[in-house]
Structure formats: structure tokens, C-alpha cells
Amino acid sequence: MEMNIALLRGDGIGPEIVDSAVEVLKKIGEKYNHTFNFTPYLIGGSAIDACGEPLPKETVDGCLASDSVLLGAVGGPKWDNLPGDKRPEKALLGIRAAMELYTNLRPARLYPALAEDCPLRPDIAANGFDLLIVRELTGGIYFGDRGYRQGKYGEEAYDTECYSRVEIERIARAAFEAAMKRNKNVISIDKANVLETSRLWRKTVHEIAEEYPEVKCTDMLVDNAAMQLVKNPSQFDVVVTSNMFGDILSDEASQITGSIGMLASASLGNTTRGLYEPIHGSAPDIAGQNKANPIATILSAAMMLRYAFSLEEEALCIEKAVDKVLEDGIRTPDIAHGEGAVGTKEMTAEILKRI
């Protein structure tokens, strides 16, 4: 199989961790007789420096012409004083919209080898957890009408939450399809006791659930979900929720795994082309120092193999290599205790040895 992959290295540690994932994909190509063609494009701060905008048309066109896209990270203090529509982070919303990516998959798993890094009580961590958050990505309050106006107490700002039935139906189906390949358990997160959008969300999710009689579907209010994630995370299999709730809950889930440097993500639409990236930021304070943990990006590449190219065996090969590295006690600084941490390049090399 031959695959064309767009590389968006971005800013900070982005180039380092994307290069690690490329090395892993090349190794997979050698082992399984695949050809990966990589084409780099500018995004974020690096694009601003080169051409004055965070998301050049060439980047959008290149991503749309590719079979899939691998992204590092964008942003940094260098560009913090730019107007909102010119900041590096604006490129993330732009590329998701251009690629029509409305589903964000964020797995959160507590690796047994990292159980001591979990901030939860030992008896809770001992149960482990392996959950998948399915977040709606292109609707809700992040994309609704917003602005300033004169209100009861003078100047006020407003942001509008809107969801259509179609938007809810398609993200619900994505969640139920994912659950069919896992433990067949979906928990839908909303705030239906207060919000009209959540009432439509709950009603629509229940309608879609009827199409999947094998899957258990329950509802949970978002405030309770935030508590349950730290009280009993093992109860969750697939979580489906709105853009803002998913943003918050997935970050909470990332922290109870022990390190945000371990978590991958996939953003998908109606085609097999997707955008794959670690959930952490650009970490400019350690950029270029060979200290970044490349595992989240490497696992994002594994998700790409699974979801974009249906290469399950190859994806599992990468995931098992990561498991073995952790079992063998090899750690980057973010997951190390005391001395003995390895750098980005060394961790990548250790994973390559186990593929």
C-alpha cells in the first residue's frame, strides 16, 4: 500500500515529535511492505513567520490532497500578542473546518507501568481504565455567534451555543460505531437539566441508540461526569459529548493517565482522511532540547494507520512496542522518577527496536 501523508510540524516541540512519528511509520513500512510519502507544510507560528498567516492556502490544499495528515503542535509566547484571528491557534480551527472534521477521538488509558504516576488513590488506579472520548468538533459554543453589546449592567460579552439535529446524529453514530468495536457501552454527557441544546442532544442520542440495540446507552450530567472521572474512571468505555464539554473532560482524562505526553487523538469526518495529533501543546520551554515525550505523536500515527488506512495489525504493532518500552522502565523526563530519563531521540530509538 502507498500512502501520501501531509506533515504539519508546527511550533515548539512539534518538529521533534513529528519526526519521531515519521521514523516509526518508515519502520512500519519496511516491516509490512508499505510506502509512506511525506510532504511538509507550514502551520501556526512557523507559517506566520514565513508568510504572515497561520494557515496558508498551500497548507490547506496540501492537506486536502493527501490521504491523511499528521500534526505536531502550534503556538508559543512569541505570537501571544497577535490579534485573535492571526494567532497560531486559529490555524487549528481553520484546518479542521477546511477538512470537515467533526469527530474528535481521544483515548485515555492508564498503562499498568505508569500506575504510580496516576494522581488518583492507589485503590482506584489499581482498577485501571481504558476509555474513548468522542467529542463533537465543529459545532457548539466555540462556533456560535459571539460579540459585545450593552446589557443590564453595561458592556457585556456573549457566546452562543447551538446544535442541530444533524450535528448530533453524526457524532452519536461515530460514538456507537466505536463502541461496537470496544465494550459496547456509551455514556452521553450533557447538561439537560439546564440547557435546551442538551435536551435536543439527549433526545437525538437516544434515537440513534435504537439503531444499535447491542450497545448500552446511558446519560450523565457533565458536572457528575467530571466527578466520576476521578472517582471511578473504569466505569467509562465510550463517552460522547459536545465540543466544550469534550474539551474539558478530555483534558481531565489526560491528567489521570499520569502524563499528557502519552495521549493521542484523531479528528475525522465523512472520508477516511483525518487529522492526527497529540493532545499536548507546543511546550516551547523544552523545544530543541531533546526532552519531549514523542509517545503521544507516535500513538497518533498508530491511530492513523487504524482509522485512515484500516491497518489494524500495523497499529497494534506500534502500540505493543510502546507498551514494551514502558514495561522495560524506559522513561522520558515527564514520566521519569529521579535520574535515568532518556531523550526524545532515545525513546524513539527504543520504540523502533521493539517494532
Catalytic residue among 223, 231, 320, 353: 223
Q: Of these residues, 26, 130, 184, 251, which one is catalytic? A: 251
Q: Are 175 and 131 in contact (CB under 8 A)?
A: no
- In the residue annotation, 191 being an active-site residue is answered as yes
The three-state (H, E, C) secondary structure of the chain, written as one string:
CEEEEEEEEECCCHHHHHHHHHHHHHHHHHHHCCEEEEEECCCCHHHHHHHCCCCCHHHHHHHHHCCEEEEEECCCHHHCCCCHHHCCCHHHHHHHHHCCCCEEEEEEECCHHHHHHCCCCHHHHCCCCEEEEEEECCCHHHCCCEEEEEECCEEEEEECCCCCHHHHHHHHHHHHHHHHCCCCEEEEEECCCCCHHHHHHHHHHHHHHCCCCCCEEEEEEHHHHHHHHHHCHHHCCEEEECHHHHHHHHHHHHHCCCCHHHCEEEEECCCCCEEEEECCCCCHHHCCCCCCCCHHHHHHHHHHHHHCCCCHHHHHHHHHHHHHHHHCCCCCHHHCCCCCCCCHHHHHHHHHHCC
Is 19 a residue of the active site?
Answer: no
Q: Is 334 a catalytic residue?
A: no
From the candidates 19, 67, 117, 247, which is the catalytic residue? 247
223 flagged as catalytic = yes
Cell matching residue 185? 457501552
Q: Is 153 annotated as catalytic?
A: no
**Catalytic residue, candidates 26, 32, 142, 324:** 142
191, 212, 276, 334: the catalytic one is: 191
Active-site residues: which are they? 142, 191, 223, 247, 251
